[in-house]
Chain A
Amino acid sequence: MSDSKDLLRAPFELAYNYKRSNGPVMSKFFDALGEQTILGTKTSAGKVFSPAAEFDPETHESLKDMVEVGPGGSIESFSWIEAPQSHHLIKKPFAFALIKLDGADSSMLHMIADCNEVDLSIGTRVTAAWSDTSEKRITDIKFFTLEK
């Protein structure tokens, strides 16, 4: 074996360096999120998707009308992580959850923290806690917490 100092080395960062456009619907959703407001898209039949969907997956109707929803909502389902992994954003026990925001008919996947597993069940009320800095990303909602 050669001495390790003899080996040729080159930096290699594994990444998919694509730039994505948010498009007309999601741009509005993320702009509003930066202002701590959650939007949804509304179908002609009055069904509201939040996070904003570009089309109704059932009818394929293109969606443009935006309405404000949340910031409170109820838990549709959750999974509790007692020991977070290194890639998780929250480093203490937390939940991934599907949260149906007030005024919406679909659920948002997000995280719930600052609580214990026993505090949570389907139907439990939660509300958005905001990140300190706005990046116009889904993580502008830091996580959800129990509604007081």
Chain B
Amino acid sequence: MKRVAIVGYAQHPILKNAGALNEVELIMPVVHQLFNDLGISQKDIDFTCSGSCDYLQGAAFAFVEGLSAIQTNPPIKESHVEMDAAWAMYESMLKIQMGDAETALIYGFGKSSPGDLDAIISLQMDPYYISPLWPDRVSLAALQARVLLDQNIITPEQMLATVIEARANSKNNKNALITDLIDESDYLNNAMVSSPLNKLDCPPISDGSSAMIIASEEKAYKFTDHPIWIEGIDHRIESSNLGSRNLATSNTLQVSMNQLNLKNIKFDVAELHTQFSHELPFLKSLLNLQDVPTNLSGGPLVGNVMMCAGLDAIGKTYESLKENQFTHGLAHATSGPCLQHNMLVHLEAQK
């Protein structure tokens, strides 16, 4: 494996409703901030890869318009994933491993405010057995929450604590959308959206964008004196047949953990793409992170830009390692219902 490092990350302030700001106008500031910070331009980028969801914009190939945010003349090598931009980073990693690129720009963007996100996400499910029933994303997450509660893998108190802590941690995140603190009675007085999940157990509808630049070892030091290395990365998906999965655990995540040899690494910090309050204690336990400060940024509960929030978990881990002189960080990105598809990224600051 060639060594690859993250050399920069930028995030747009997460908005409740970006209004007339279109996707291009959301992407441009973060890409240009990165270029300015590193003193480079699109000419220094060998490969560009984005992550977004055409269903959010409501038109096939809508992602192509995102390219208007960057300079594409002279022609560039570029690609797109209809996934969270964390997977655009994965593709960029592969491109560097293959020797096709030394540097890559990754960006993700999503505006959830214009449409009905619950209905839209229903359309992305299995079109034969699931989509025709119109299950909303909260109800699907709630199915897993109930299994975890029923088997005492997590407790209602942990869900409450997760919501309270996320809001307290939002002070560490200048781009957070939700910053107001709540107490136990606020939580308990909130109506259920889909029992056992109430409104505060769910992430806010969010608009925004993020960008990241990664580079091979050779190029990384030309961009920064403090690259953060991607020491391990692994992603695996579970069956699209929801009813055949064991929602009380994640067999695929356990394979990824072994693949990255996680049990032998002492993590200083972790950022998990846990969109619903039950997912954080579940994954902390599964990933053996009980004693590791997790989601210091507040995580998706204080801002959850669709198709960015996974890349943001990687970006926030990168920022934590850089700003706190930590050594090891773990980032997690997810996609699909009930943590169907998961990516783990082990980041390490240079010693």
Q: Please determine whether chains A and B interact with each other in the same assembly.
A: yes
For the complex, is B135 an interface residue (Cβ under 8 Å from A)? yes
A sample of 11 inter-chain contacts (CB < 8 A) reads A51-B241, A78-B146, A79-B194, A80-B192, A83-B191, A85-B119, A96-B143, A97-B143, A106-B241, A106-B244, A109-B129
A86 to B116, CA, bound (A): 10
Give the interface residue-count category, chain A: 35 or more
For the complex, is B168 an interface residue (Cβ under 8 Å from A)? no
- The answer on a CB contact under 8 Å between A79 and B244 is no
For the complex, is B218 an interface residue (Cβ under 8 Å from A)? no
For the complex, is A89 an interface residue (Cβ under 8 Å from B)? yes
A89 to B118, CA, bound (A): 13
For the complex, is B233 an interface residue (Cβ under 8 Å from A)? no
Binding site for B on A (CB under 8 A): 14, 16, 20, 22, 26, 49, 51, 53, 57, 76-83, 85-89, 96-98, 100, 106-111, 117, 122, 137-139
- The answer on a CB contact under 8 Å between B195 and A110 is no
Residues of A with C-beta under 8 A to B238? 57
B147-186 contacts to A, CB under 8 A, are: 147, 150
Instruction: Give 19 A-B pairs besides A53-B241, A78-B143 with Cβ atoms closer than 8 angstroms.
Output: A20-B127, A51-B129, A51-B243, A57-B238, A78-B146, A79-B142, A79-B196, A79-B197, A80-B192, A81-B139, A81-B194, A89-B133, A96-B133, A108-B129, A109-B129, A109-B133, A109-B135, A110-B133, A139-B133
Q: How many whole Å from B32's CB to the nearest CB in chain A?
A: 32
- The answer on a CB contact under 8 Å between A53 and B133 is no
CB within 8 Å for A79 and B119 given contacts A20-B128, A57-B244, A109-B242 = no
Residues of A with C-beta under 8 A to B195? 79-82, 117
Residues of B with C-beta under 8 A to A20? 127-128
CB within 8 Å for A79 and B129 given contacts A87-B116, A107-B243, A109-B242 = no
Q: How many whole Å from B198's CB to the nearest CB in chain A?
A: 11
Q: How many whole Å from A9's CB to the nearest CB in chain B?
A: 18
Chain A: CB-nearest residue to B60:
A16
Binding site for A on B (CB under 8 A): 58-60, 116, 118-119, 122-123, 127-130, 132-136, 138-140, 142-147, 150, 191-197, 238-239, 241-244, 247
A98 to B141, CA, bound (A): 12
Residues of B with C-beta under 8 A to A14? 58-59
A77 to B139, CA, bound (A): 11
Residues of A with C-beta under 8 A to B241? 49, 51, 53, 57, 106
- The answer on a CB contact under 8 Å between B128 and A26 is yes
Residues of A with C-beta under 8 A to B193? 81
Choose one: A81, A98, A117; the contact of B243 (CB below 8 Å): A98
Q: How many whole Å from B112's CB to the nearest CB in chain A?
A: 15
Residues of B with C-beta under 8 A to A122? 146-147, 150
Choose one: B58, B133, B194, B247; the contact of A80 (CB below 8 Å): B194
Q: How many whole Å from A64's CB to the nearest CB in chain B?
A: 16
A83 to B138, CA, bound (A): 13
Q: How many whole Å from B114's CB to the nearest CB in chain A?
A: 12
Chain B: CB-nearest residue to A105:
B244
- The answer on a CB contact under 8 Å between A87 and B118 is yes
- The answer on a CB contact under 8 Å between A88 and B58 is no
A79 to B276, CA, bound (A): 14
CB within 8 Å for A77 and B136 given contacts A26-B128, A87-B118, A109-B129 = no
Q: How many whole Å from A137's CB to the nearest CB in chain B?
A: 6
Chain B: CB-nearest residue to A89:
B134
Q: How many whole Å from A71's CB to the nearest CB in chain B?
A: 16
Choose one: A82, A85, A111; the contact of B133 (CB below 8 Å): A111
Q: How many whole Å from A140's CB to the nearest CB in chain B?
A: 10
- The answer on a CB contact under 8 Å between B139 and A96 is yes
Residues of A with C-beta under 8 A to B59? 14
A109 to B129, CA, bound (A): 8
Q: How many whole Å from B34's CB to the nearest CB in chain A?
A: 34
- The answer on a CB contact under 8 Å between A77 and B247 is yes
- The answer on a CB contact under 8 Å between A82 and B146 is no
- The answer on a CB contact under 8 Å between B139 and A79 is yes
Residues of A with C-beta under 8 A to B60? 16
CB within 8 Å for A98 and B242 given contacts A78-B146, A79-B195, A82-B195 = yes
A1 to B240, CA, bound (A): 50
Q: How many whole Å from B234's CB to the nearest CB in chain A?
A: 19
